[in-house]
Structure 1
Amino acid sequence: MPGWIRWIIYIVLLIGLVGAIIWGYQEQQEKNAILIKAENNYQRAFHDLTYRMDELDEKISTVLAMNAPSNISPQMANIWKITSEAKADVSQLPLSLLPFNQTQQLLNQIGDFAYDVSIRDLNDQPLNDQELQALSELKDQSNQMKSDLRQVQDQVLTDGVRWMDIEVSVATNDQRDDEVLNGLQVVEEDAGQFDGLSQLNDSANNENSIELTGESYNQSDIEQVVKDYFELNEQTELTITENGEGSEVPIYNVSFNTDSFHGYAEVTKQGGNVLSYLLNRDVGESTKSLHDGRLVAETLLEDLDYNQVEMVESKQYEKTGVYKFVHVHDDTYYYPDEIQVKVALDDGQVTGLTARDFILNENKREEREFEPTLSEEEAIDYIHEQIDVQTTRLAVIETEENGEVLAYEVLGTIDGTTYRVYINANDGFEERVERLTQSEEVY
């Protein structure tokens, strides 16, 4: 081989090697940038949550010192706002480390209670002794949770803890004794200890008790249900806890780890129904379309015998498709009876299901009686005149003030922006207006 050809080959190989190095470096830089962004989001969410628990403790203490209804109402509205923000913070934490179920449930209870108090006439219905006692206990509880979070925060800041490192250690089943994880576990256990607000609703829960069919399951039964449902190895260890007394429906919280994912599920004590589950794992590059994921979700619901449901919305979050289905009867869409399915678009695996509302509302369906007073044409007259109406259908939605109401669901546009408007089918009241973004609506 002539020397000049060898030189050309060497030069080509050298250029290829340099190109590969540059490409690898750029790939590594992009990966590092994504990891840094994720870490920053985790850090921000945790520190924001700690700050909001401080705020919550302060606001609750302030309410206990108030006497004038005109002061209490806005303060309770602030508490509701803080709990909403705190719930958003919790949802952005790496929950594969520790599902904050008890904490989220407590924040939900506080938010619902604060909202109900903030909108009622406290001159006619002042806080009663039981509510004041619950607030006093909640103050002690929030103070303890605040202290626990502060200790975890101090550990994070002192040791320069990276949430990504902890998440990797958990994902690889590294059973090291981690003080941050232990601290978060204490916060979660503290949240589960408080049932003062649940007790306020005991009588309401008894009046609206949810009756589920089937036999009563103990923890051993539930363990087998979960292993069969997820086709787990018999040697897989499950952590099972039961929710507290006075809950709307008795359920078991189940968590487990496999080589592929960390799993969490809610299963009813009566009947052994899987209300929801989540499989946390790394999702690879997408090979499936949003439509492919929809077909997977529909097949799952058919296999689970969820009949008379239709998809009303689909959204893609990075490499995952999320699909919302609702119960449909006599061409009326019942939004309170909702099912959500989460599908990984790398291989089409279902990684999440939330069927709680659909299952718990099953007995309610036979009792519902809705009949529109207004015609479709009359309802459209209540729509803003600038909206170009595209489609209309009947739907049942849930409102804060009146519970479930029948409405005309109207889809229309203004200057290329799509809106969904709900007009009460009996009096024409505009119940709700939603701006739709990045979603596929199915009509």
Structure 2
Amino acid sequence: MYRRISAVLFPISALLLIGALIWGYQENQEKNSILIKAENQYQRAFHDLSYHVDRLHGEIGNTLAVHSASSPMHRKGLMNVWRLTSQAQNEINQLPLTLLHFNKTEDFLSKISKFSYQTANRDLTKKPLTESELKNLKELYKNSNEISSELQKVQGKVINNHLRWMDVESAMASESRKQDNTIIDGFKTVDKKVSEYPELDFGPSVMNIYNKRSVKKLGGAPATMEEIKKKAAQFTGYANPSNVQVVENGKGTEWPSFTANLPGRNNGERVSIDFTNNGGQVIAYNYTRQIGPRAIDDKTARDHASRFLVDKGYKNLEPIVYDPSDNIANMTYVTKKSDVLIYPEKISVRVALDNGQVVGLQATDYVYEKDQVKTVTQPKLSLEQARKYLNPDFKETYHRKALIENEQSEKVVTYEFGGRINGSQYRIYINGNSGAEESVEEIRSGRKVAALK
């Protein structure tokens, strides 16, 4: 009997064992295949990075080599510099450097990219490269040469010693403090060199991008928690300050703020309000509750939002965008001075479409940009003159004057034209003084622009 059982079970066990071995072999092969693919991708990104940084150095040299009045060559060279820095940034993002501090080099490349792009996109025949900009390019030429040389040293070691990027990933993921991996050490050397470079003056158009907003720039003395409790209760219009809980965020940093939490009007509903540290100004408001089916129209929702803003002390605002989604209307308002809309002073309101209650407010841009524009100058071009710069096929549906911040971080007065072309809706901003197209935006389906007026 046992012999018969053994005769049956033995082949089955053998088959199972063979199947397990085959499955394990296939799994191991697939794992190795994935690792080889990842290693190849890392190697390609690294060698491309070294190549493009070397090309970057050469392209800056080419730009400096031509005559100082050669605007077309300067534009061509700067666009090539922008393209190469963008490619280098993309390749850095493909490498397993998330656990390795390489931020100085990334910031360095980012600033070169912004500087070259914005400079190349201005009219260099009217505004040629300044002495300061040429001096910056000479410094960047020298710096990029050093970075390229260091990367090529690492590249040589990688090739000669058959180093693997998968080992870099393992070394950085290790809890061991000692990281003597050749590639890691090479990248640390590059970042250390970059950190020692003197800070260049790229001009306000570039540096404004990197200048963080700080509550220190706001007026008013630092608020206390008791003051925030009172402000939160006053903002809701019904709460008792004793029911408000306040948390201080980011104490000792550039971004200290307060968050006030309190009950809503009904059971299960909650309210949170964020305030700036200086002056205790509201930068965000959220009323959390269950939203029912839609019961009001667009105009009623707009009226509720406008009344809410006036009640809370926000004056001279104009609705510019209406965007309904999931029974909530998202509306954007901007300050209006004379007949010009001040787009940087933006505030967003969310209205529940079941009863018109305002359930959200985002006022960060409004708070930090408020009154930054002291006076608004009228455009030199007339409306008819500005229209001549539009595509003849553009079907205009509305127009208005708007002050916007362009790619050079400059605040400029424009004519905003809304309309249709090629089957889609667009907003086109024409510079009110030069006629240049400052910005073109496609309006996604469902959004309503300027129809609220």
- Change beyond 3 A, Cα 1:428–1:246: same
> In the alignment, what sits opposite 1:313?
321
User: 1:383 maps to what in 2?
Assistant: 390
**For residue 113 of structure 2, what is the aligned residue in structure 1?**
118
- Which structure 2 segments of 5+ residues have no match? 1-40, 57-80, 95-104, 117-135, 148-168, 174-194, 200-206
Residues 343 and 235 of structure 1: CA distance in aligned 2, closer, same or farther (over 3 Å): same
Q: Does 1:433 align with 2:428?
A: no
Give the aligned partner of residue 351 of structure 2: 343
Range that drifts further, 416-425 or 293-302: 416-425
Deviations 1:231-281 (A, max 9, x none): 44524544332365334xx53244556643344332122221101222333
1:292 aligned partner: 300
Query: Given the superposition, is the C-alpha separation of residues 264 and 351 from structure 1 closer, same or farther in structure 2, using an over 3 Å criterion?
Result: same
Residue 410 of structure 1, aligned match among 417, 424, 429:
417
**Distance (whole Å) between structure 2 residues aligned to residue 114 and residue 335 of structure 1:** 30
What's the counterpart of residue 276 of structure 1?
A: 284
1-side partners of 2:233 and 2:49: how far apart? Answer: 47
Query: Is contact 2:273-2:282 (8 Å) kept?
Result: yes
Structure 1 stretches lacking a partner, 5+ long: 1-54, 82-109, 133-142, 148-195
Contact 1:267 1:275 in 2 (8 A): yes
- Return closer, same or farther for 1:204/1:323 CA change in 2, 3 Å cut-off: closer
Cα shift readout 1:44-85 (whole Å, capped 9, x = no counterpart): xxxxxxxxxxx9xxx99x98999544654323367899xxxx
Structure 1's 371 and 295: CA in aligned 2 closer, same or farther, altered over 3 A? Answer: closer
Maintained 8 Å contact 1:338/1:357: yes
Query: AA paired with 1:311?
Result: P
Percent identical across equivalent pairs?
25
Gap change, CA 1:344 and 1:387, over 3 Å in 2 = same
Q: TM-score when scaled to structure 1?
A: 0.55
Cα deviation, residue 306, structure 1: 1.5
- Please point out which of 216, 224, 227 is paired with 1:221: 227
Q: Residue in 1 aligned with 2:426?
A: 419
- Residue 246 of structure 1 corresponds to 254
Q: 1:212 to 1:237 in 2, by over 3 A?
A: closer
Contact 2:215–2:276, Cα closer than 8 Å, also in 1: no
RMSD: 4.4
Q: 1:74 aligns with which of 64, 75, 87?
A: 87
Shift in Å, 1:421? 0.8
Equivalents in 1 of 2:294, 2:323: separation in Å? Answer: 14
Higher gyration radius (CA): 2
Deviations along 1:386-407, one digit per CA (max 9) or x if unpaired, are 0122332211111222421111
Q: Give the conservation status (yes or no) of the 8 Å contact 2:52–2:88.
A: no
Go from structure 1 to structure 2 and tell me whether the alpha carbon gap of 1:208 and 1:280 turns closer, same or farther (over 3 Å shift).
Answer: closer
Q: How much does 1:219 deviate? A: 2.8
Tell me how far 1:318 sits from its aligned partner: 1.5
Give the direction of change, closer, same or farther, for the CA distance of 1:117–1:221 in structure 2 (3 Å limit): farther
- SS in structure 2 opposite 1:302? helix
- Residue 337 (structure 2) aligns with: 329
CA gap 1:244/1:292 in 2 versus in 1, 3 angstroms: farther
Kept after mapping to 2: 8 A contact 1:76/1:115: yes
- Counting only pairs closer than 5 Å after superposition, residues 4-403 of structure 1 correspond to structure 2 as 68=54, 69=56, 72-76=85-89, 116-121=111-116, 124=138, 126=140, 211-230=217-236, 231-233=238-240, 234-242=242-250, 245-247=253-255, 250-255=256-261, 259-366=267-374, 368-403=375-410
Shift in CA distance, 321/240, structure 1 to aligned 2, threshold 3 Å: same
* Alpha-carbon separation, structure 2, partners of 1:439 and 1:262: 29
Separation (CA, whole Å) in 1 of partners of 2:340 and 2:309: 19
Alpha-carbon spacing, 1:125–1:232, altered in 2? closer, same or farther (3 Å): farther
1:422 is displaced (CA, Å) by: 0.6
Aligned residue type for 2:234: D
